[in-house]
Amino acid sequence: MLKRLCLIAVLGVVFLMAAGAQQEYQLKAAFLFNFAKFVEWPAKSFAAPNDPIAICILGQNPFGDALSDAVRGKVWEGRSFTVRLISDISPKSKCQIVFINSSDRQRFRGMVGGLKGAGILTVGDTPGFIEDGGVINFKLEGGKIHFEISAEAAEQAQLSISSRLMSLALAKK
């Protein structure tokens, strides 16, 4: 009986952790969608005026359906949104926003040099992501999701980030 109670308690904790992670990535999905409203991409980022804003995920997808659900039916400045999984990030990937999963941070380090001037907003959620050349990094502090922005990385990517978004970011230390 004691083993059964312990098993039930462990399963309950695992379920709560999974629910918490799911909720965390639902919020991050909403952030990714909203980031698009505060970023100006260079004209070369889109082949045509009605091309969608592509949010790509490098590596494993921690969002499940949350990211697709967050952008479904949404339009910003005449552009719809699309979500794609990618295995490589380059200027030819035709992504405007790329979320780099923590499992692919090492690969990102090797790719970041080739992204200068590519007009790609790189977003991660790993300590040190900004120092690796990422533009925006999510941070979980006190149970709340915050983000930091590297103005230098944004400039190198030829992105213009609204001062309103910059003011919401954590001060980079």
- CATH classification of the domain holding 21: 3.40.50
Distance CA(63)–CA(58), nearest Å, equals 12
DSSP run (H or E) holding 132: none
Is the pLDDT reported for residue 46 higher than 50? yes
Residue 37 placed within a domain:
yes
Residue 4's pLDDT is what?
35
Instruction: Kindly state the average pLDDT of the residues 71-100.
Output: 90
| Residue 113 lies in domain | 2-168
Q: How far is CA 68 from CA 57, 122, 158, in A?
A: 11, 18, 26
Q: Give the mean pLDDT of the chain.
A: 83
- The number of distinct structural domains making up the chain is 1
- Residue 107 sits at the vertex; the CA angle it makes with 151 and 42, to the nearest 5 degrees, is 40
Residue 129 near residue 105, CB atoms below 8 Å? yes
Q: Higher-confidence residue: 35 or 109?
A: 35
Q: How far is CA 11 from the centre of its chain?
A: 30
pLDDT tens by residue, 107-138: 787 777 777 878 999 999 988 899 989 999 99
Residue 21's pLDDT is what?
58
Residue 173 placed within a domain:
no
Residue 20's pLDDT is what?
52
